[in-house]
Amino acid sequence: MSTSRDRESILEEARRALEAQLAVGDRIPELLEEACRILEHSVPWYDWVGVYLVEGDELVLAAWSGPAATEHVRIPIGQGICGAAAREGQTIIVSDVREDPRYLQCFLSTRSEIVVPIRRGGTVIGEIDIDSDRLAAFDEDDRVLLEWLAERLAERLPQAGKTAV
């Protein structure tokens, strides 16, 4: 397991890589792809990283990075942990997905999950969804990094639901 010092420096390095990518000025599809790739590659406990965007009453997968595709490319708001976070407009951390009845399974190996809404003006326009194969992988440091990224992405997304790829 990583020590808390390791965790902090890994997350800080990921933040710097994300900042550099945000400064490049990519178009939205490329920016979302790169953000997912950076997170998945630089944080060992992030095993699958996706960004969903709101389209009507659904979350639509816009970008992802991980070992395999998910079958959940469209999730109705209100369903799953993703749908719950979108409806509540709040970050949800699930330490053990097997204990959460809301959980929609993507990968057999997943043990914990964090979902961070991307909000603009009080409206949820998307979210960052990360699965980990480790039990209780996510803590406040992950939340702070991912909420920071969600704010940066919200500044760049032109309109809710118009930019899914």
| Nearest residue (beta carbon) to ligand SME | 80
Q: What would the DSSP string read from start to end of 29-85?
A: HHHHHHHHHHHHHH-TT--EEEEEEEETTEEEEEEEESSS--S-SEEETTSHHHHHH
For ligand SME, give the closer residue by CB, 25 or 101.
Answer: 101
For ligand SME, the closer CB: 107 or 148: 107
CB-nearer residue toward ligand SME: 16 or 74:
74
Least Å distance between CB 150 and ligand SME? 16
**Smaller CB separation from ligand SME, 13 or 56:** 56
CB of 43 to ligand SME, least distance (A): 16
Other CB atoms within 10 Å distance of the CB of residue 43: 21
Shortest distance, position 16 Cβ to ligand SME, whole Å: 26
Cα distance between residue 89 and residue 162, in whole Å: 19
Which letter does DSSP use for residue 91 in this model? -
Binding region for ligand SME (CB under 6 A): 50, 70, 72, 75, 80-82, 103-104, 106, 113, 129, 131
Q: How far is the CB of 82 from ligand SME (least distance, A)?
A: 3
Edge-to-edge strand order for the sheet containing 74-76? 74-76, 58-65, 48-55, 123-132, 112-120, 92-94
